[in-house]
Amino acid sequence: KPFPLILSPQTLLKSLSLSFLQLPEELRESWEEPTDPQAQQEIINSIEEVYFSNDTFDIVKYELERLPPVLSLQELEEHRDKLKQQQAAVSKKVADLILEKQPAYVQELERVTSLQNGLQLAAVICTDGRRHLNIAKEGFTQTSLGLLANQRKRQLLIGLLKSLRTIKTLQRTDVRLSEMLEEEDYPGAIQLCLECQKAASTFKHYSCISELNSKLQDTLEQIEEQLDVALSKICKNFDINHYTKVQQAYRLLGKTQTAMDQLHMHFTQAIHNTVFQVVLGYVELCAGNTDTKFQKLQYKDLCTHITSDSYIPCLADLCKALWEVMLSYYRTMQWHENHDQDEAATVSSDGSSVVGTEENSFDRSYVKKKLEHGLSRIWQDVQLKVKTYLLGTDLSNFKYDDFIFVLDVISRLMQVGEEFCGSKSEVLQESIRKQSVNYFKTYHRTRLEELRMFLENETWELCPVKSSFHILQLHEFKFMVQSRSPSVSPSKQPASAISTAVTLFEQYCNGGNPFEIQADSKDDETEDVLASNGYESDEQEKSAYQEYDSDSDVPEELKRDYVDEQTGDAPMKSVSRETLKSKKKSDYSLNKGNAPILTNTTLNVVRLVGKYMQMMNILKPIAFDVIHFMSQLFDYYLYAVYTFFGRNDTFELTGLGLSSSRLRTTLNRIQESLIDLEVSADPTGTLTAAEERKEKVPSPHLSHLVVLTSGNSLYGLAERVVATESLVFLAEQFECLQPHLDAVMPAAKKPFLQQFYSQTVSTANELRKPVYWIVAAKAIDYEQMLLLMANVKWDVKEIMSQHNVYVDSLLKEFEEFNRRLNEVSKRVRVPLVVSNILWEHCIRLANRTLVEGYANVKKCSNEGRALMQLDFQQFLMKLEKLTDIRPIPDKEFVETYIKAYYLTENDMERWIKEHREYSTKHLTNLVNVCLGSHINKKARQKLLAAIDDIDRPKR
């Protein structure tokens, strides 16, 4: 600041003098005049105090205000003079004081002057210092510090710019997150969100960032929700890339275990939603309206609204949908197994941190246990849902093929369950067993009634089939020749298409569905097993008689040298083709090759057996019920054939051609257990009896179109052959099926199956004897032969060289029988075994008639006995030309009886005891005829007593 101006003493005095000269003239004069100090003091004292009050006091205003209201010039002048005097006194006083203090003032003024000089010097020094400081400031300090300040400011601005860019990026995060979520890049979105959260915590001092931080937290929660939705999509359509992203996302969140818990909840929910939507769709479709009431129903109630027509498509779609869910779970487990292996290999190669490895190992262990535990839970849910659907509809009135389809689907589903978690599917087995038993009882009852109707309308005409016919060619048995897992379309897959080692999950892992409905090909539905017009081809028809030896269409087992007709097995010792040709001469079938003999009814029974076996194969828990019902089919067929063609009490009483005890036992059992002999129900009968009768079937009646009384047709031999041999054919088919039945039969019930085969199936060929015995008994007129023999004289005295006429008559009967047999064979192939039985029966009856005729002789000589032998030898010689049967049946029966005439008494007694095949009449007559020739009366009595002893046990 500038220094104050210092006045010199001369200057000060000069200023005071000037002030004095400027005073009014009157005052100056009075100041210059000598005055009395005391008077002066009084004047000063007379001055009012107010004038000394303060500097701001306005004297003029004060005096003007003191003027009286009425002005007087004199008074004014007087007052003015007074004021002048007072002013002059004051001025005088001031001047005196100034003069009085002048030396001190001069002295002080000098000091001031000295001080002023010092100050001027200091001002010069300060000015120089300031100039130098300014030079230093401008030259060094200001420039350097400015640079540093600018650099610091630049650094701050760079940091600020980086922060601003980060803030700008953070502000744009929402857009990028949305894009990532749309692209389903969940790991990237979570990684970005976590990085943004970390960045936001760094810049939390900015108000905009603090708001963004809370928003990012909300976004992260939103991502978790979307991630949960994405996880739920895995349950129906597993995608490796999609699931990999989801798992990576959960791992970034540190919620691997939570994800697994959520996944199982989603699978459970997926099963429920899937089955509900499938069933709801079909219910609404069948209802044909848009009523929403079905959506409010429980799943169990919804299943009861499924119609019969939509039941199977809905079941197939239900299983397909559930398969997709289980396949997704299977592929999820596969993903974790592969991922764990890769991760374990990575850890072992690069040696990650121990803590991280232990944590990952714990997560993997948890996930693995959770997935393994979830297998049975998910399968249990599937079983319960399908069980509810199965039991929601009564299947007893379904068509067979439809029901088999249901069983096939459930069987496939149970296979899926076994491969899925090793479950035996007890829930499904029990529910389908209930439905199957219920269905099968109704079905079997209807089939038995149909079988009765078929049998009662059957005319026992031959059903022409190819010689290569085998039941496995029938559509119903296709399942037996295909080595496959149960499938909806049994015939669509070749036998070697699927290895048993390949599971359904491996087979259909990359596409397809094991429950796809595929229509069977036409070839399967319309298999060609029938021969045209009963012949294999026109060529065969033309050459049937000429080229009997042709075996181009004969099955391999029939191309062997010789096949046992009864067992189908080749004998231990091979027979030559020439022998076979000679044997075939007796086979009245030259025009029909070796085609099986069966009827339409037989074919229907075989098809029915195939259907039963399909059901049994698919549903093994009811195997015993099915086999039991299957045995009833055979029982009823056997009983019908016996009732129609084999029952004849008259001939059975002869003691010849009787059924075996095993056959009789079987027929009695069938009659008691299966045949309803009552005409009307007993109204007083118990409920149990009514139930038992409900399980039985009325005895069948032979069609009135079948005539068994005509001699020209050999008493219905063609029908008898077709009926009996079709039964044998049916038995052979059952024999072929025994291993398959035994494989599925429960161990506890296997004795039933063994008993059925040993006591019923194996007796089918035994029915030939009683059936063909009736024909043999009527085909030859044995009574006429007895009458002719009675007219012969046997007590001749000379040996005869000519046989008797009854032998020629008997041989003519046999020739006529042979002719009619050939006529029958033109209609129906008569197998070798049948012709042999017929010839055997006829020859046996003829021989026994001869013995009966010889036993009626009253008198006989040795020459007469020789004549008997001659007659019999003539009969045998001619007979051997008609038949190939060797040896002749009952030949010894006749010869032994004739020769017994020559025995002595003791030999005859022993002979009587040894030969019990002869009747009492035969033995008694023998003794009586011998009386007189070489046996006396005493011996006669002894021999008759021996005969009586033999006959007594019979009584």
Phi first, then psi, for residue 532 (nearest 5°) are -80, 125
Give the max Cα distance, the chain: 246
DSSP 853-905: HHHT-S---HHHHHHHHHHHHHHHHHHHHH---SSPTTHHHHHHHHHGGG--H
What pLDDT, in 10s, does the model give residues 893-902?
999 988 888 8
Residues in contact with 498: Cβ distance below 8 Å, sequence separation at least 6, in sequence order:
483, 484, 485, 507
Residues in contact with 213: Cβ distance below 8 Å, sequence separation at least 6, in sequence order:
197, 200, 201, 204
> pLDDT over 90 for what percent of the chain?
11
Which range scores top for mean pLDDT: 127-131, 411-415, 712-716? 127-131
> CB of 752 within 8 A of CB of 769?
no
What is the reported pLDDT for 954? 54
Look at 356 and 459; give whichever has higher pLDDT. 459
pLDDT reading at 472 higher than 80: yes
What is the reported pLDDT for 344? 67
**Average pLDDT, integer, range 869-898:** 89
285: closest CA among 273, 297, 277, 275? 277
Burial bucket for residue 122 (CB in 10 Å: 0-12, 13-18, 19+): exposed
What is the reported pLDDT for 520? 46
**677: pLDDT confidence band, cut at 50, 70 and 90?**
confident
pLDDT reading at 6 higher than 60: no
What is the reported pLDDT for 130? 92
What is the reported pLDDT for 938? 84
Look at 936 and 843; give whichever has higher pLDDT. 843
234: closest CA among 327, 328, 334, 324? 328
Mean pLDDT of the chain: 78
Phi first, then psi, for residue 65 (nearest 5°) are -70, -20
What pLDDT, in 10s, does the model give residues 41-82?
888 888 888 888 777 888 888 888 888 888 888 888 888 888
What pLDDT, in 10s, does the model give residues 300-321?
888 888 888 888 899 999 999 9
What pLDDT, in 10s, does the model give residues 207-241?
666 666 667 677 777 777 777 888 888 887 788 88
pTM: 0.62
Phi first, then psi, for residue 535 (nearest 5°) are -115, 155
What pLDDT, in 10s, does the model give residues 569-599?
434 333 344 444 444 444 454 444 577 888 9
Residues in contact with 939: Cβ distance below 8 Å, sequence separation at least 6, in sequence order:
905
One-letter amino acid at 643 equals: T
Burial bucket for residue 802 (CB in 10 Å: 0-12, 13-18, 19+): exposed
**Average pLDDT, integer, range 684-713:** 73
**Average pLDDT, integer, range 147-169:** 83
pLDDT reading at 126 higher than 90: yes
Cα-trace Rg, the chain: 68
Tokens at 652, concatenated = 């059975």
Residues in contact with 698: Cβ distance below 8 Å, sequence separation at least 6, in sequence order:
452, 675, 676
Range from 131-145, 740-754, 776-790, 883-897 carrying the lowest mean pLDDT: 131-145
Residue 333 CA: distances (Å) to CA of 339, 349, 513, 923:
10, 24, 19, 91
Residue 353 CA: distances (Å) to CA of 347, 350, 356, 358, 360:
9, 10, 5, 9, 11
d(CA 831, CA 840) in angstroms, rounded, equals 14
**Average pLDDT, integer, range 383-388:** 90
3-state secondary structure of 675: strand
Look at 615 and 124; give whichever has higher pLDDT. 124
Phi first, then psi, for residue 494 (nearest 5°) are -70, 160
> CB of 88 within 8 A of CB of 95?
no
Burial bucket for residue 330 (CB in 10 Å: 0-12, 13-18, 19+): buried
d(CA 708, CA 523) in angstroms, rounded, equals 40
**Average pLDDT, integer, range 456-462:** 89
What is the reported pLDDT for 367? 83
**556: pLDDT confidence band, cut at 50, 70 and 90?**
very low
Tokens at 653, concatenated = 């009483």
The C-alpha angle 290, 293, 297, rounded to 5 degrees, equals: 135
What pLDDT, in 10s, does the model give residues 243-261?
888 888 888 888 778 888 8
What pLDDT, in 10s, does the model give residues 406-422?
888 888 888 888 888 88
What is the reported pLDDT for 496? 39
What is the reported pLDDT for 205? 64
> CB of 517 within 8 A of CB of 316?
yes
**Average pLDDT, integer, range 357-371:** 77
**Average pLDDT, integer, range 149-159:** 89
Which range scores top for mean pLDDT: 152-166, 181-195, 628-642? 628-642
pLDDT reading at 756 higher than 70: yes
What is the reported pLDDT for 568? 40
What pLDDT, in 10s, does the model give residues 719-738?
888 999 999 999 999 999 99
3-state secondary structure of 295: helix
**33: pLDDT confidence band, cut at 50, 70 and 90?**
low
Phi first, then psi, for residue 675 (nearest 5°) are -95, 130
Residues in contact with 162: Cβ distance below 8 Å, sequence separation at least 6, in sequence order:
none
**Average pLDDT, integer, range 190-204:** 70
Tokens at 725, concatenated = 């041999």
> pLDDT over 70 for what percent of the chain?
77
3-state secondary structure of 458: coil
DSSP 524-580: HHT---BPBTTBS-HHHHHTTTT-TT--TTS-GGGSSS---TTT-PPPSS---HHHH
d(CA 476, CA 307) in angstroms, rounded, equals 27
**551: pLDDT confidence band, cut at 50, 70 and 90?**
very low
Burial bucket for residue 744 (CB in 10 Å: 0-12, 13-18, 19+): middle
Q: Beta-carbon neighbour count of residue 291 at 10 Å? A: 9
